[in-house]
């Protein structure tokens, strides 16, 4: 009887799990929405805005779930969602409208157009930042610092020029413009200001008049503060309501829209700028936005990446999608389309999570009837590719403050084995890539076993240094010496292990001190290295707290002070540990203890140097 009961419970549980999981690719719109609702339940997503276009027709435009958990009011086609970075597609169209009007060109230098905007570019005059770099994330700017995301004044919307003046530290060109992709929101604020100066009106008004209205997007807007009941509320990962806070870099993410308006936007793209028999934009403008040609990898032939406010992605689907994603507190969004096949989607959820599974299911539904051949492969030119063997390091960090992590762990090893090229990322299995013909550049193109388009390219820089770039947008890697990366890893890992051991040793010494077999003065001297661990915990706690409450990062608070003081504690501990470590030998301490302590001191110094090099030592989050 016991076994029968257990079997019954197992069968019931398996049925419940099966019901909670989408089964296969949905064949009909109803099956798609049913499957999406299952995913919503699994991820605790209250509601989504959804538009589906197939065979050049809108087959769904509306919503699933609720826009307000308090009132249980349903999402419908008119419910406005915050679409975050999808704003960039509309700002790019606004800039290109001015280009069409002859106000400036994509090749114009930004400093010549807006000399009043101060930014640092050590690569000038040979390599200036141009308008096209702003719209393609290739200017080399840092992304927003933690203190410049949300405007906590609630109702005050700062002029774009003031925002750029107050947060100009991000406007520092870190490498030659036009060589690599690194996502940078501040560049879009410069683009928004460019619109305002040459259109002689606020950027949002100009885009509304010249882009939204002609397309027929009647209720979409760039409002920083919601008005009326048409907006969905946003919720965080724990289900709590997120306040609708304005952002400083509005041209990078302040757009609000709904399913009905996004249906017209998808139709605009699929019909190549034609809306209701009127050519709103020349098709060549859309072609220009979609073409990823602004990095050395794209210029070498890689066909996927970022164009002008528009991604080209999905190498492992029979039809690639163009479009953009967006994320802002409480919301996660995405739109994509393929004009050739007349398919597209727009989706936003009000939980700010779980978007990957939702979008993947929608794409599988849209491409299920499309069948194309994978790219023809060719024999590997072993002699030519030997020059590209070696160890590569990611060199296009989005946030400079986190670049130290990339310099240690974002690596890829390239090897040739039995006439096959293999790639191996850090702590992952190696995988083969197959050479394919390059019709659009001089780089060596490769495709993965599941790819429908080339996904990797090898190309030399203008200095002849090997570069590997991949279809994962932004993956720009330069070849480095493996020994240098390994040395950093070993030093950091060993140092952290040593410092953790000091915590256990401190507990033992504390027991000795309590039992009076060790003087308290000696105990305090011995425990100093463990304070580095305390400092690291403070920095880590402060960082996570800051990320969770980004809206508070612009003012001194507990999280910011934890980061700031944690850095100074580490520096002070490293200094004292080194001093005490030297004293141990002079005082004639036992050799084993003296060696152990000097190793702890060395570990303190290593961690301190890592943090100093990364910019975390004494970091004031609220003003950096």
pLDDT at position 22: 60
176, 179, 382 from 462: Cα distances, Å: 11, 10, 23
Mean pLDDT within 397-403: 94
Tens of pLDDT, residues 341-380: 999 999 999 999 999 999 999 999 999 999 999 999 999 9
Cα-to-chain-centroid distance, residue 451 = 23
Tokens of 238: 């724990």
Of 176, 154, 175, 158, nearest to 167 (Cα)?
158
| Alpha carbon distance 223, 208 (integer Å) | 11
CB of 444 closer than 8 Å to CB of 468:
no
136, 401, 482 from 409: Cα distances, Å: 26, 15, 12
Mean pLDDT within 459-478: 87
Tokens of 564: 């700031």
Of 310, 204, 309, 206, nearest to 257 (Cα)?
204
pLDDT at position 154: 55
pLDDT at position 17: 39
Tens of pLDDT, residues 117-133: 999 999 999 999 999 99
Mean pLDDT within 91-96: 98
Mean pLDDT within 438-456: 91
239 burial (CB, 10 Å; 0-12 / 13-18 / 19+) is exposed
pLDDT at position 152: 73
| Alpha carbon distance 111, 375 (integer Å) | 42
Confidence of residue 59 (pLDDT cuts 50, 70, 90): very high
Q: For the chain, what percent of residues have pLDDT higher than 70?
A: 95
Torsion angles phi and psi, residue 393, rounded to 5? -125, 135
Specify the pairing of strand 278-279 against strand 274-275: antiparallel
| Alpha carbon distance 73, 51 (integer Å) | 19
The single residue listed with the structure tokens 């009011």 is: 73
The single residue listed with the structure tokens 């702003």 is: 134
pLDDT at position 474: 63
Tens of pLDDT, residues 125-163: 999 999 999 999 999 999 999 889 887 765 678 899 999
Instruction: Kindly write down the DSSP assignment for every residue of 469-512, as one continuous string.
Output: EESSTT-EEEEE-HHHHHHHHHHHHHHHHHHHHHHHHHHHHHHH
Running DSSP on this structure, what letter comes out for residue 319? S
The yes-or-no verdict on residue 92 having pLDDT over 80 is yes
Question: Which H or E run contains 536?
Answer: helix 530-548
Question: Which H or E run contains 393?
Answer: strand 390-394
Torsion angles phi and psi, residue 113, rounded to 5? -80, -40
| Alpha carbon distance 477, 474 (integer Å) | 9
| Alpha carbon distance 349, 561 (integer Å) | 34
């Amino acid at each position: 009887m016991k076994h029968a009961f257990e079997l019954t419970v197992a069968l019931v549980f398996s049925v419940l799990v099966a019901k909670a999981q989408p089964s296969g690719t949905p064949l009909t719109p109803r099956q798609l929405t049913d499957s999406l609702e299952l995913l919503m339940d699994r991820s605790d997503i209250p509601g989504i805005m959804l538009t589906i276009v197939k065979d050049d027709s809108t087959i769904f435009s509306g919503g699933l779930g609720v826009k307000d958990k308090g009132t249980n009011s349903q999402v419908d086609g008119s419910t406005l969602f915050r679409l975050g970075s999808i704003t960039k597609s509309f700002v790019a169209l606004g800039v290109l409208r001015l280009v069409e009007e002859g106000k400036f060109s994509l090749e114009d230098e930004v400093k010549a157009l807006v000399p009043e905007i101060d930014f640092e570019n050590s690569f000038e005059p040979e390599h200036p930042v141009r308008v096209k770099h702003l719209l393609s994330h290739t200017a080399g700017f840092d992304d927003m610092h933690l203190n410049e995301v949300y405007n906590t004044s609630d109702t005050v919307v700062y002029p774009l020029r003031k925002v750029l003046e107050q947060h100009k530290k991000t406007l520092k060109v870190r490498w030659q413009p036009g060589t690599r992709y690194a996502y940078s929101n501040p560049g879009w604020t410069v683009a928004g200001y460019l619109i305002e100066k040459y259109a002689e009106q606020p950027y949002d008004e100009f885009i509304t008049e010249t882009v939204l209205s002609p397309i027929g997007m009647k209720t979409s807007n760039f409002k920083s503060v919601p008005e009326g009941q048409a907006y969905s509320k946003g919720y965080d990962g724990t289900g709590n309501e997120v306040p609708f806070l304005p952002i400083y870099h509005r041209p990078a993410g302040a757009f609000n829209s709904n399913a009905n308006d996004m249906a017209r936007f998808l139709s605009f793209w699929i019909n190549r700028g034609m809306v209701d028999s009127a050519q709103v934009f020349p098709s060549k403008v859309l072609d220009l936005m979609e073409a990823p040609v602004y990095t050395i990898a794209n210029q070498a032939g890689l066909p996927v990446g970022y164009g002008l406010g528009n991604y080209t992605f999905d190498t492992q689907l029979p039809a690639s999608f163009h479009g953009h994603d967006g994320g802002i507190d409480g919301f996660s969004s995405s739109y994509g389309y393929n004009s050739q096949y007349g398919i597209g989607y727009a989706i936003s959820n009000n939980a700010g999570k779980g978007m990957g599974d939702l979008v993947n299911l929608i794409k599988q539904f849209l491409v299920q009837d499309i069948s194309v051949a994978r790219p023809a492969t060719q024999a590997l030119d072993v002699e030519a590719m030997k020059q590209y063997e070696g160890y590569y390091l990611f060199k296009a960090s989005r946030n400079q403050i986190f670049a130290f992590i990339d310099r240690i762990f974002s690596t890829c090893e390239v090897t040739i084995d039995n006439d096959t090229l293999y790639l191996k990322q850090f702590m992952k299995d190696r995988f083969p890539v197959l050479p394919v013909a390059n019709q659009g550049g001089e780089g060596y193109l490769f495709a993965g076993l599941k790819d429908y388009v080339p996904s990797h390219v090898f190309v030399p820089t203008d200095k002849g240094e090997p570069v590997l770039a991949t279809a994962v947008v932004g993956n720009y890697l330069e070849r480095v010496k493996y020994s240098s990366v390994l040395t950093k890893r070993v030093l950091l890992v060993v140092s952290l292990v040593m410092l953790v051991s000091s915590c256990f040793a401190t507990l033992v010494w504390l027991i000795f001190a309590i039992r009076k077999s060790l003087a308290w003065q000696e105990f305090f001297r011995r425990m100093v290295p463990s304070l580095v661990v305390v400092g690291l915990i403070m920095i880590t706690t402060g960082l996570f707290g800051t990320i969770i409450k980004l809206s508070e990062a612009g003012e001194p608070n507990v999280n910011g002070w934890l980061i700031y003081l944690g850095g100074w504690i580490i520096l002070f501990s490293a200094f004292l540990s080194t001093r005490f470590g030297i004293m141990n030998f002079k005082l004639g301490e036992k050799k084993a203890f003296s060696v152990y302590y000097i190793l702890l001191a060395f570990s303190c110094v290593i961690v301190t140097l890592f943090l100093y090099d990364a910019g975390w030592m004494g970091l004031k989050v609220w003003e950096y």
